[in-house]
Amino acid sequence: NIKHDISVQISRIPAFVAHTDAVLQREIPGVRLVNFGHLGDGNLHYNVQAPAEGDTKAFLRDHEAQVNHLVYEAVAEFGGSFSAEHGIGELKADKLAKYQSPVALGMMRAIKTALDPQGIMNPGRVLQAA
């Protein structure tokens, strides 16, 4: 699976899923989609699997970056967040500047500075150097 922990406004989830499923099916024929989550708060685990007859390791190697890009762009188009319940972490830190507003990033940096003025807690993990 190529896993995504995203959020979209609850009322927009059906349209998001229909749109994103169609984009992925068009770009990677036969791809399988496994969506689940606690939709009552807009959090959706949007997972993408290799086609049934495909090699899963090759699928991950060849399509992970493309799938992530397509999903994250759709999330942005629908006004959602590319990282919801499980946070940014190291794996998505490089995407934060593209998918968060400068205001949100400024607020995150201010909170980080207030709680960790010496920058010793997980340096560079979520917030890259400004």
Helix (H, G, I), strand (E, B) or coil at 72: helix
Question: Where does the pLDDT of residue 112 fall: very low under 50, low under 70, confident under 90, or very high at 90 and above?
Answer: confident
- Exposure of 44 by Cβ count < 10 A (0-12 exposed, 13-18 middle, 19+ buried)? buried
Euclidean distance between CA atoms 12 and 8, whole angstroms: 6
Residues 61-105 have pLDDT tens digits of 999 999 999 999 999 999 998 887 766 767 777 787 788 888 988
State yes or no: pLDDT of 130 exceeds 60.
Answer: no
Q: State the pTM of this model.
A: 0.81
Contacts of 42 (CB under 8 A, 6+ apart): 7, 8, 9, 10, 13, 80, 84
Cβ–Cβ contacts within 10 Å for residue 96, how many?
Answer: 17
Residues 22-45 have pLDDT tens digits of 999 999 999 999 998 876 788 899
What pLDDT is attached to residue 92? Answer: 77
Region 103-124 average pLDDT:
87
